[in-house]
Amino acid sequence: MSTGNANVIVYVREPVNAEQGRRLRDTVSALRGVRNASTSDRTATLMSVDYDPSTIDSQLILNCVTGQGFSARLVGM
């Protein structure tokens, strides 16, 4: 039985240029259970991630972002 998708907003504390934002989206999108990762049109420091909570949790998503060398935190769900 599917539990449906969940959503989390990740805030990256330092400036993210277009190339860094693209790589970060691609890396997060490649995680098993992540359905979509997108950044705000206004700022790449906010990323919305849709995911399957039966496969991955928000802490693992955050760990992926910080593992790429960014200082980040979860700010919304």
- Which pLDDT band holds residue 2 (cuts at 50, 70, 90)? low
Report pLDDT digits (tens) over 26-63.
999 999 999 999 987 677 789 999 999 999 999 999 99
Instruction: State residue 15's pLDDT score.
Output: 86
- Residue extents of the structural domains in the chain: 6-76
Concatenated DSSP letters for 6-65? Answer: EEEEEEESS---HHHHHHHHHHHHTSTTEEEEEE-SS-TTEEEEEE-TTT--HHHHHHHH
Reference 11, options 70, 73, 76, 77; nearest CA is: 73
Q: What is the mean pLDDT of the chain?
A: 90
For β-strands 6-12 and 72-76, DSSP reports them as antiparallel
> Per the confidence metrics, is the pTM higher than 0.85?
yes
Whole-angstrom Cα distance, residue 30 to residue 64?
10
Determine the topology of domain 6-76 in CATH: Alpha-Beta Plaits (3.30.70)
Instruction: State residue 1's pLDDT score.
Output: 45
